[in-house]
Amino acid sequence: MNALKYLGLALFYVGGTSLLVIVFPHSLPAFLAFQSSLLLLYYLPLSPRLRVSLAFVVLAFLMPLIGSINGYYLEIAIQVGIFVALALGLNIVVGMAGLLDLGYVAFFAVGAYLWAIFGSSQANEFIPSSWIQFPLAPSWFFVFLLLGVVAGACTGFILGLPVLRLRGDYLAIVTLGFGEVIRVLANNLDKPINLTNGPKGITPIQRPPLFFQPLLEDLGFSISTPALYSLYFYFLVLLVVTAVITATRRLDHSPIGRAWEAIREDELAAASMGVPLIRMKLLAFATGASFAGIVGVIFSAKQYFINPESFTFMESIGVLAMVILGGMGSIPGAILGATIVTVLNLEVLKGLSLWLNTLRNSGLVLSLPFVGDYALSQLPAQLEPAKYERLVFGIIIVIMVIFRPQGIWPARRRLGKVGRT
Amino acid sequence: MEFALTLFPQVLVDGLVLGFMYALIALGYTMVYGVLQFINFAHSEIFVTGAFVGVEILLGFQSAGVLAGIPSWVLLPILVIAGMTASGFLAVVVERIAYRPLRNAPRLVPLLSAIGVSFVLQDAIRFMESIWRNAFYLTYPPLQGLDRRIQIGSTFDISVKSLVVIGSSILMLAALSFLVNKTKMGRAIRAVAQDPQTASLMGVDVNQVVSLTFLIGGAMGGAAGVLFGIQYTLISPYTGFIPGIKAFTAAVLGGIGNIPGAMVGGLVLGLLESFSASYLSLLTGGAFGAEYKDIFSFLILILILILRPKGLLGEVVGEKA
Amino acid sequence: MACKRGHALAGVLRCGILLAALAVPSLVWAQTRPVIKIVSQSPLSGEQAALGEQVKLGAQLAVDELKKNIEAMGFKVEFVPYDDQAKPDVGVANAKNMVADPDVLVVVGHFNSGVALPASEVYKDADLTMISPANTNPKITDRGYKNVNRVCGRDDVQGPVGAQFAAKDLKVRSVYVIHDKTLYGQGVADAFLGEAKKLGLKVLGYEGTEEKANFDPIINPMRAKAPDLVYFGGIYNQGGILLKQMRDKGMKAIFLGPDGLDSSETVKIAGKAAVGSYYTTVAGPPSAYPESASFVKRFKAKFGKDPESFSMYSYDSAAVGIRAVEIAIADAKGKKPTRAQVSAAVRKIKNFQGITGTITFDSQGDPVKSKYFVLKFMEEKYPGTIVKTLELGAPQVKKG
């Protein structure tokens, strides 16, 4: 009986909020309410199968529907997906194995540049055209998705090999340095050999083939190509995120996951229990990096243009903030953290700034006690919340580590362990 | 080759100036690390705070119209002391709020907090400057006397301010080593660095010593900030990041926790950077330019950590409580 | 555990209801008159916020001053400033947001070509008009998109103008080129370099640097090679300080840079060292146009600070956009025009009198004729004095 009641509640909430978004396609709160319906699904005491199928309906049908009404929401969903995959990757390194990596975005850059170079005419610069002509055909994109995984893992392995012997905090600084090295290399390898085209970046980058377009047309759907690409990327990201979640869960529950945890909690004890430290750390590094590699490939195809500006230290810190916020080592935590930070940054802070702007333009005059009349048009532009992304990241990190180090959504196995002195 | 030789003395002096700057900043990292085994990531912002305090005082004097009237030997100590005070106290406050509650947490947790503080401080400085002066970049006004250059030979000269930077760095480093090695206060710091529990049993107030360490390290950072501003003149709220990372590299290079080590590390790094930036393009026929100097520093950091993790002079850190 | 879960559940529900309640007022706000939105997109946060702010304010002033005509036709005009944070992914997300809002008809932006390139792909898909006040990168218009325009000149003209000036007017023999390793700086420096080589100037060095404070290692080899002229491709924050440190080190070489130096900040940062230096730009100083003197006054009255050249470009971009909307409304017989109508109208505008000159777009979206100025800082004051004015068209991409 109870189960039915909860199912009803879930259906009502999901249905209600999606209706709200459809009726008010430009209302941010409505979309936020819709987004929170996934959270509700997770919390409701439903049977796992029901929960998964409801989530599937929301993600695979309602979200694309809403996205085709307001393309911006689809873009947000794609970016959230990209960051979820990144946060899950970093979560393996930082959260599960306890290795602080401050240059994680480097692996993302490797994946992105991999497809950018071969999926555009850039590769002609250093590969003789008598061998092969670039850009490669769009269908190579799928091969490069796999290559992105391999390239990410290899880079993680190569970096990890020398540095994983270091103590934790040294490791943090070295990875930070590595992240900068990759960015500076990307910015400078336009000579002597033009590998990355330097700061000018690479464009146009091939997009994956729309092999199903004729089929859709036969079925009577006529969707414009740009909208189709957005939907395409959405489903691609959704697929990759699902794969990443599955992989992470499997790893978490395997002996490898337990070995990582042992290393995180006490390296010495883990080593004496026979955990091969270096091999396990390398594995964590390479796995985390491979996730970044694959989303990097998607990112460059979606962006159409990339240059080194997308791969700065700020991005690494952003992903780290997501992992800490959600709860280190926790898979739902990383997902939640990535969603909250991305939504905060893209929607909420921006929305507030725009709202302040409309207030300013409204010519409203507040009469405040003691201060007298205050015209809202005088609100200084410096106060706009969108300007304080760093501040917000910083405050999130500090407050979380001091007051709730286990994150909003702690890893179940970690419960009760943190805070131990 | 001849061309490379004519450059040499100038590159050497510039490298020394940069090296002393790194050494001063590195002291903040090294002292805190020596006592708490913790990388104070926010130290770069504490350094920038010093630079901003310096420029605000100068601009204040300038708008009051008295700047030209103050001789630089009076002005310089005022600036440096103000910068040291502000940065020292900021460091203590940061420690009290963001690090002390985490004293017993796992190692990485305070580092994360420090990264957060670093971001908060960057934006806080930016916020204040944008409200107060509506500016992002601030420039140190030209200072009489300090900008003068002494010509030695046709391709080599040295400015008075470079000499001042070198001189005051040596002075401060000497004062610091006296403080740490010869005074009672210094003994307490060393005791806590070696073993905080035993030190507290011996009647040392550990919290006080930690605050003191942050005060001294922050003050050194503040002094470095003011000198940085005087030497290179342009500062922004985000100026600290790269010098901060370099200074940390210097601290590790010399052996973290080791005060003479920070100095040696700073000088080595400063010289390496100066030489690599000036000569790389020359040596490789333009294939690799000055832009690789940062990569150079990071590669050195990685190599040192792998080959000689205790640094050139050996690290001096106690055991983690 | 169950209790905790119940707690969180209640929390989510409560939040959801609150958000839903917040959503409803947007119905109440619904306008009776159809709304037309002119938006700007530029970095309003981060290191380039000062310049991005100028872009925003220029466009805002234009909308406030010029919206009367459109409002008289029965529409409500709104100005919405977006912050792209100088980040490509944020710029693209914003672009999708604009495209999703059918009221948005004109985008004034961006500041960074690195953001404009990916974002304009989004505008292109929706045929949303973009008029750029500051993107001088050739690729912006070379792609030949119908909706992408700019009112400013191009790097591949501005760089050569500098080289021509150096070789023919200043009669220098040797140059040393420095750039800031950005899309903009390296682009214009490369264009300068190419032309300089063609003109037979001796290139003594070519370096890129991201350094923001300490230019000693760059200056040392440069000083030893003693070039007649140093060209800096980049923005004032580096250019000003490089110039100052060069002079500090006793370098006498002439200093020349592109419109990245066209800012009062150059003088603020370089101080006395700025005197005697040259910069090329596409927007003349107020003295060049009677129109811009009054603009400076209006700008200052409204925002309480001095405008810089980017705000003039931005004013013109928005003004052209507004004119295009007016034409498009007429084309649509008084109804709200489609985006395609607006972007077609932009190209139809002939000899629009802007502050920065007369604007007509060619088939690529470049101005048919742009003025290029060479200015010199005669004293420690911004702007400099015009020493040369040229009027040039944009190089056309070969078709086929």
Report pLDDT for A339.
Answer: 92
Distance, CA of C269 to CA of B123 (rounded, Å): 22
Highest mean pLDDT pick, B47-56, B71-80, B255-264, C244-253: B47-56
If we measure between CA atoms, which residue out of B155, B152, B168, B148 comes closest to residue B11?
A: B155
Q: Say whether pLDDT at B306 is over 80.
A: no
Q: Does position B43 have pLDDT exceeding 90, yes or no?
A: yes
Of C47, C50, C209, the CB nearest to B291: C209
pLDDT tens string A268-297: 899 999 999 999 999 999 999 999 999 999
Residue A417's pLDDT is what? Answer: 45
Which pLDDT belongs to residue A1?
59
All residues of chain A having their beta carbon less than 8 Å from the beta carbon of residue C187 are: 200
Which chain B residues are within 8 Å of A419, Cβ to Cβ? Answer: 105
Structure tokens at C262: 């066209």
**Chain C neighbours among A 283-342 (CB < 8 Å)?**
303-307, 309-310
Q: For residue C281, give both structure tokens.
A: 């730009």
Count chain A–chain B contacts defined by CB atoms under 8 A: 130
**Smallest CA–CA distance from B295 into chain A, residue:** A181
Within 197-216 of B, beta carbons closer than 8 Å to C belong to none
At C27, the pLDDT band (50, 70, 90 cuts) reads: very low
Judged by DSSP in three states, A136 sits in coil
Selection from A218, A260, A226 nearest residue A98 by Cα: A260
Interface probe for A, chosen from C24, C96, C184 (most Cβ of A below 10 Å), is C96
User: Residue holding tokens 């008084």?
Assistant: C334
Domain parsing of chain A, residue ranges: 1-69, 73-331
Q: State how far the Cα of B61 lies from the Cα of A407, in Å rounded to an integer.
A: 48
Answer for the pair B298, B15: CB distance below 8 angstroms, yes or no: no
Single out the residue of C351, C343, C306, C305 nearest to residue C321, CA to CA: C343
Nearest in space to A35 (alpha carbons), one of A336, A393, A400? A336
Q: Residues A234-273: pLDDT tens digits?
A: 999 999 999 999 999 999 999 999 999 999 888 889 999 9
Greatest alpha-carbon pair distance for chain B in Å reads: 64
For C10-48, letters b (16+ CB in 10 Å) and e give eebbeebeebbeebeeeeeeeeeeebbbbbbbbbbbbbb
pLDDT digits (tens, 9 = 90+) for B274-297: 988 888 877 777 777 778 888 888
For residue B112, the surrounding DSSP H or E stretch is helix B108-132
Q: 3-class SS at C146?
A: coil
Cross-chain residue pair B298–A320, CB shorter than 8 Å: no
Instruction: Please report, in angstroms and rounded to a whole number, the separation of the first and last CA atoms in chain B.
Output: 55
Report the distance separating Cα C154 and Cα A169, nearest Å. Answer: 47
pLDDT tens-digit series, residues C139-172:
899 988 999 999 888 889 999 999 999 999 999 9
B234·C269 Cβ contact <8 A? yes
Cα Rg for chain A, rounded, in angstroms? 23
Contact flag B147-C248 (C-beta cutoff 8 Å): yes
Closest to B159 (Cβ–Cβ): which among C49, C248, C305?
A: C248
Tell me the pLDDT of chain A averaged across its residues: 86
How many residues in chain B? 321
CA distance B117 to chain C (A): 17
Chains that touch C (3 or more CB pairs under 8 A): A, B
Does any CB of chain C come closer than 8 Å to the CB of residue A355? no
pLDDT digits 0-9 by tens, A161-191: 888 888 777 888 889 888 988 998 999 888 7
**A128-151 pLDDT per residue, tens:** 877 888 888 899 999 999 999 999
> Which chain A residues are closer than 8 Å to C22 by Cβ?
27, 29
Amino acid residing at B247: A
pLDDT band with cut points at 50, 70 and 90 for residue C25: low
Residues with Cβ within 8 Å of A110's Cβ and at least 6 positions away in sequence, in order, are A151, A152, A155, A182, A289, A292, A293, A296
H helices within chain C, ranges in order?
2-23, 25-28, 49-66, 68-72, 88-100, 113-126, 139-142, 155-164, 183-198, 216-225, 236-248, 264-270, 290-303, 309-331, 339-348
Q: What three-state secondary structure class fits A215?
A: helix
Task: Give the closest-approach CA distance of C192 to chain A in angstroms.
Answer: 16
Please indicate if any CB of chain C lies within 8 Å of the CB of A408: no
Residues in chain B with CB shorter than 8 Å from the CB of A191 are 287
Least confident of A380-389, B220-229, C21-30: C21-30
pLDDT at B146: 80
Q: Does residue A113 register a pLDDT over 90? A: yes
ipTM attached to this prediction: 0.87
The whole-angstrom separation of Cα B45 and Cα B90 is 10
Do B139 and C268 make contact, defined as CB atoms within 8 angstroms?
A: yes
A96 and chain C in contact, CB less than 8 A: no
Q: pTM score, two decimals? A: 0.89
**Tens-place pLDDT, residues C184-223:** 899 999 999 999 999 999 999 898 888 888 898 889 888 8
Return the pLDDT at A419: 39
Residue B149 is given by DSSP the state: E
Decide: B76 and B172 in contact? Cβ < 8 Å: no
> Residue B93: how many CA atoms within 13 Å on its side-chain side?
9
Give residue A232's identity as a one-letter amino acid code: Y
Which string of b and e fits A353-389 if b means at least 16 CB within 10 Å? bbebbeebbeeeeeeeeeeeeeeeeeeebbebbbbbb
Instruction: Give contacts of B 16-35 with C, CB under 8 A.
Output: 17-18
Structure tokens at C388: 């040369």
Tokens at C359, concatenated: 């604007």
For the stretch B155-202, pLDDT in tens is: 778 888 899 999 999 998 899 989 988 999 999 998 998 888 889 898
Of B111, B123, B288, the CB nearest to A100: B111
Round to the nearest angstrom and report the end-to-end CA distance of chain C. Answer: 68
Residue A413 in this model has a pLDDT that exceeds 70: no
Mean pLDDT of chain C: 87
Give the pLDDT score at C376: 94
What subunits touch chain B, counting only 3 or more CB pairs under 8 A? Answer: A, C
Q: What is the mean pLDDT of residues C64-90?
A: 88
More confident call, A169 vs A6: A6
Whether A157 has a pLDDT exceeding 90, the answer reads: yes
Mean pLDDT value of segment A354-383: 70
Asked if B291 lies within 8 A of C223 by C-beta distance, the reply is no
Is residue A292 exposed (0-12), middle (13-18) or buried (19+ Cβ within 10 Å)?
buried
Percent of chain B with pLDDT over 70: 98
The answer to whether the CB of C374 falls within 8 A of the CB of C170 is no
pLDDT grade, residue B65 (50/70/90)?
confident
- Are A294 and A153 a contacting pair, CB within 8 Å? no
